[in-house]
Amino acid sequence: MSDQTVSKEEGVREALRAVIDPEIGMNIIELGLIRDMEIHEDRAHITMIMTTPFCPYAPQLLEQSRRTAQEYLKVPTTIEMGLELWDPSMMEDGAADDWGLF
């Protein structure tokens, strides 16, 4: 992976901090919901999971995340919901402290 790709991924992750899970009140990066990102010159693809399998906000969170990444990257972006089960250990370091989990 080139340095340019890494910086683009970092930039997308920063942009995605604006996407907040309305039930938990934390952003999707803090929660560790973005599981994979493929960024190409002409397109991008993101794999994202939800905190619960039946999250009522899943369609809105997926679309808001896709749109935010696409606006940042300026290339067509697709998103898919991964099947991996979320657990609090996926959260960014220190994010769980604010949540009172550990």
pLDDT values of the chain reduced to their tens digit, one per residue, 102 residues = 556 666 999 999 999 999 999 988 999 999 999 999 999 999 999 999 999 988 899 999 999 999 999 999 999 999 999 999 999 999 998 777 765 554
Give me the domain span that covers residue 52.
3-97
Residue 102 lies in a domain: no
CA atoms of 76 and 43, how far apart (whole Å): 5
Q: Are 54 and 42 in contact (CB under 8 A)?
A: no
Residue 29 lies in a domain: yes
How many domains are there within the chain? Answer: 1
Task: Write down the pTM of the prediction.
Answer: 0.88
CA atoms of 62 and 67, how far apart (whole Å): 9
Q: Are 66 and 79 in contact (CB under 8 A)?
A: yes
For residue 93, the model assigns a pLDDT of 85
- DSSP 8-state code for residue 90: G
Strand bridging mode 77-81 / 44-48: parallel
* Terminal Cα distance for the chain, rounded: 35
Residue 90 lies in a domain: yes
Tokens of 31: 């929660």
We report the CATH number of the domain holding residue 86 as 3.30.300.130
**Of 46, 28, 48, the residue nearest 37 (C-alpha):** 46
Residue 23 lies in a domain: yes
For residue 102, the model assigns a pLDDT of 47
